[in-house]
Structure 1
């Protein structure tokens, strides 16, 4: 059972005396693979930063970033800091699921990374996954209002079908363990699972999200999020999501933007939501 927050009157007063619109971004930035040729990290990284800055997001979750990529983002994103560790050693080795946040707006009250496995508190590979997978959590406090946002950022396995479902269930359990019933919650990442799959069905049942097959004025961009680097590829495969709970969702966008040379900035499109809290 999710925690119950007391006193209820305090929550009521907090929510209804403060309202702030914010942007949140989830972006698989593609790990630095020398084999990517003309789409190598060192060639596209400055335009990726330009895209991130142009969206004015206050909270950004990235997937696949290696330590030096995370450090590059950290050096370029003024006023931002991050929560996260490498998945291979719990320090700096391996890919991160880092959460960047505007430190002029938020402070991190609690930070945690757990492994998507039967033993989430230790470095481990879960179920039928092909490698270590993690979820990073940050409990962010909005400095002006004192409101709390619980942010989770993850990257599910691309091969293990059982691992993806179990990972979804594990994260739901962690949310119920860490979060109060009426608090603001965001889960984002690359889930390597399309709408209609069982992991996404489980997450849909717990969160609010926009169904791209029922596009309305709130939804913008292509239906999908994975394209590879090919600029001619049609974004039909949706595997990246931002889920929210107890948050008013104002807009939901898959941003399809190209580099100056016509190639894609990453092999995934960023997901961007505007929220009111």
Structure 2
């Protein structure tokens, strides 16, 4: 009889496990607000970007390339989200952001910061052979209901410097180790401007789990993530990623969202959406 009651209690407790442990993460390069983009300029497509995010409702999503006007506009229309982030040119509002948005009803921000991908990460700087300043923004989130904590790091690697990109991978992983002595789960996302077989990505894949690899057969959407506003071409170049600290997640679904509006992509990158149980 006692064994029966114990088993019954175990079943009840298991069935009542909080659903909040399954969470969705997205990374999305917005393409910066360039008035010279013609029919692909921000003013024409921004509503489509917002609609895509609202349609998929990620719990947390990181953006790359967004300028202050783009980030603040998104913040104004995505009313159930808030964000952290700074401009890479001055550490305030100038230049591109690696902003991270999160559902305010679900999470509290415990701490946050931004560092530069360079030899002097705490200073506004250009790293190694990079063409431009590059940054990584991160925060520690706490789930309001379950009290579970996890980190999210969001980065945008340089598009030119090979040394900078490899060193950026090493720097970010060292920062993850430095700031996470509690060994909370950690999600690393971003536009890394590199294909999967390159050394910086292989390095990260040795240190962390690539969410696509953890998804098994639950992979959908395009193969690549960079479309270059070639709306009628197959997207094959995968340069946007979501990694997770080793052994810390079960990935339920990995999807590269290739939705179009009137046969056009909302940005020159496709967002990556991952549903995982931390």
Q: CA deviation at 1:17?
A: 6.1
Q: CA deviation at 1:234?
A: 1.3
Which structure 1 residue ranges, 4+ long, deviate > 3 Å from structure 2?
A: 16-19
DSSP-derived class of the 2:276 partner: strand
The alignment status of 1:61 with 2:79, answered yes or no, reads no
Q: Does the 8 Å CA contact 2:215/2:254 hold for their aligned counterparts? A: no
DSSP-derived class of the 1:249 partner: strand
CA distance in 2, matches of 1:247, 1:215: 10
Structure 1 residues 155-199: Cα deviation after superposition (integer angstroms, max 9, x where no partner): 000000100000000000000001135411100000001011000
Give matches, 1:1-277, under 5 Å: 18=18, 20-180=21-181, 182-210=183-211, 216-245=216-245, 246-260=248-262, 262-277=263-278
Q: CA deviation at 1:113?
A: 0.2
DSSP-derived class of the 2:52 partner: helix
Give the TM-score taking structure 1 as reference length: 0.90
Structure 1 residues 13-39: Cα deviation after superposition (integer angstroms, max 9, x where no partner): xxx965521111100010000110000
Q: CA deviation at 1:211?
A: 5.1
Q: CA deviation at 1:218?
A: 1.6
Q: CA deviation at 1:217?
A: 1.9
CA distance in 1, matches of 2:151, 2:249: 11
Structure 1 residues 21-63: Cα deviation after superposition (integer angstroms, max 9, x where no partner): 1111100010000110000100000011000000010101000
CA distance in 1, matches of 2:193, 2:82: 27
Which is greater in Rg? 2
- The runs of 5 or more residues in structure 2 that have no matched partner are 1-15
Q: Does the 8 Å CA contact 2:83/2:101 hold for their aligned counterparts? A: yes
CA distance in 1, matches of 2:232, 2:30: 19
Give the TM-score taking structure 2 as reference length: 0.90
Q: Does the 8 Å CA contact 1:118/1:127 hold for their aligned counterparts? A: yes
Q: Call closer, same or farther: CA 1:146–1:210 in 2, change over 3 Å.
A: closer
CA distance in 2, matches of 1:259, 1:230: 14
Q: Does the 8 Å CA contact 1:185/1:247 hold for their aligned counterparts? A: no
CA distance in 1, matches of 2:211, 2:233: 23
Aligned residues: 260
CA distance in 2, matches of 1:230, 1:168: 29
CA distance in 2, matches of 1:24, 1:210: 10
Deviates more, 1:45-54 or 1:227-236: 227-236
Measured on the aligned residues, the alpha-carbon RMSD in Å equals 1.6
Q: Does the 8 Å CA contact 2:211/2:274 hold for their aligned counterparts? A: no
Q: CA deviation at 1:128?
A: 0.2
Aligned to 1:13: none
